[in-house]
Amino acid sequence: MDGRVLHFYLAGINDENFLMRDRETGSWWQQVSGRAIAGPLRGARLRLLSSEEISFGLWRREYPWGTVLAPVAADRKNYVRAGWVKRYHKYPVVVPLPHGPLQGRTLVVGVTLAGHSVAYPFAQVAKQGVIEDTLGDTPILVALGPDQRTVRVFVRRAPGLPAADSFFKEVAAPATAAETRPGHAGEAKPPARLVAAAVVRPAEQRGQLASKAAAPPIGGGKASPAAHAKKTAKASKPFTLAPWKLLDAATGSQWDFRGCAIQGKAKGRCLPILPSLTEDWFDWHHYHPESRVWSAGLPR
């Protein structure tokens, strides 16, 4: 912040959103906005760096030389358990939500640009695969990736292309076994390098988190052999990446999921990526009350 390095820790929860506190000034920061809401730095805002929720298989293909943060044995008791998302979505929302088109726990992909906000229900993104829209004066493209999980939002124009070009997803032939593996292009791909990093938290926070992690599973008891076998079979299902490319109507060029043209007249050009946030509708609406909700067939 203004050249000063701050160190943060989880200090609490506000409206089901993390509150962070920096050790240097004791200021309190809202995670979703990066804004200091109390303390000496109140009103300051951290600079947002682009990030995304991405499956490891897709990340591994795109960044074969990337570094993976390894679990820390001493902190395993503080990690959330598998299945926490399903349990979390059974809880009622804690902030007022006016009657509207979506339920509070509906998963959306939220985008904000130049004072305009829009939420795309993840279920509709998954159903359509590609959505063209306009946010303010900016044409945008919302696309579901080859893993059927990762969503990226692009500005729907690039140097040398029409200002509001049209894109559509090409239906490709099934991928070969080689194409579904990381590094299928033929070059050698080393295994991801694991880097351990200690999780530093105040003692009281460690105790609080540990008590949550140690909570008994919902329903109690042990799974039956049949249920265990079914769960094991589901967990061992091989991960595959479907063939994926877009074509633009103006030049017929092919574009990959990074937003870059890989064949055709536009080869070498890339669409700018816009930051997006995948979260529950109630949380997105709480911090972006002016946001519209995209729906197929409705005016943009």
Report the C-alpha gap between 71 and 52 in whole angstroms: 20
In the prediction, which pLDDT does 221 show?
A: 41
Per-residue pLDDT band at 10 (split at 50, 70, 90): confident
19 touches 34 (CB < 8 A):
no
In the prediction, which pLDDT does 25 show?
A: 94
SS3 call for 83: coil
Per-residue pLDDT band at 210 (split at 50, 70, 90): very low
At 238, the amino acid letter reads: P
List Cα–Cα distances, 253 to 139, 160, 260, 269, 271, in angstroms: 18, 12, 10, 10, 13
In the prediction, which pLDDT does 141 show?
A: 92
Instruction: Give 176 or 55, the one with higher predicted confidence.
Output: 55
Q: Please, what are the domains in the chain?
A: 1-49 (no CATH), 80-175+240-293 (2.102.10)
77-108, pLDDT tens digit by residue? 888 777 777 777 777 777 777 777 898 889 99
CA-atom Rg of the chain in angstroms: 22
pLDDT at 198 > cutoff 80? no
pLDDT at 183 > cutoff 60? no
The predicted model gives 183-194 an average pLDDT of 45
CA angle at residue 250 from 245 to 254, to 5 degrees?
Answer: 20
In the prediction, which pLDDT does 230 show?
A: 53
121-156, pLDDT tens digit by residue? 999 999 999 999 999 989 999 999 999 999 999 998
pLDDT at 40 > cutoff 90? yes
Q: Is the pTM of this model over 0.75?
A: no
Q: Which of 69-73, 149-153, 187-191, 267-271 bottoms out in mean pLDDT, i.e. has the lowest? A: 187-191
Most confident of the following: 35-44, 169-178, 192-201, 289-298: 35-44
The predicted model gives 11-28 an average pLDDT of 88
SS3 call for 284: helix
pLDDT at 162 > cutoff 80? no
Check the CA dihedral 54-199-21-18 and report its sign: positive
pLDDT at 114 > cutoff 80? yes
The predicted model gives 229-258 an average pLDDT of 74
248-288, pLDDT tens digit by residue? 888 888 999 999 999 998 899 999 999 999 989 988 998 89
The predicted model gives 231-238 an average pLDDT of 53
Q: Residue for token digits 């530093």?
A: 200
Q: Which residues contact 101 (CB under 8 A, 6 or more apart)?
A: 293, 295
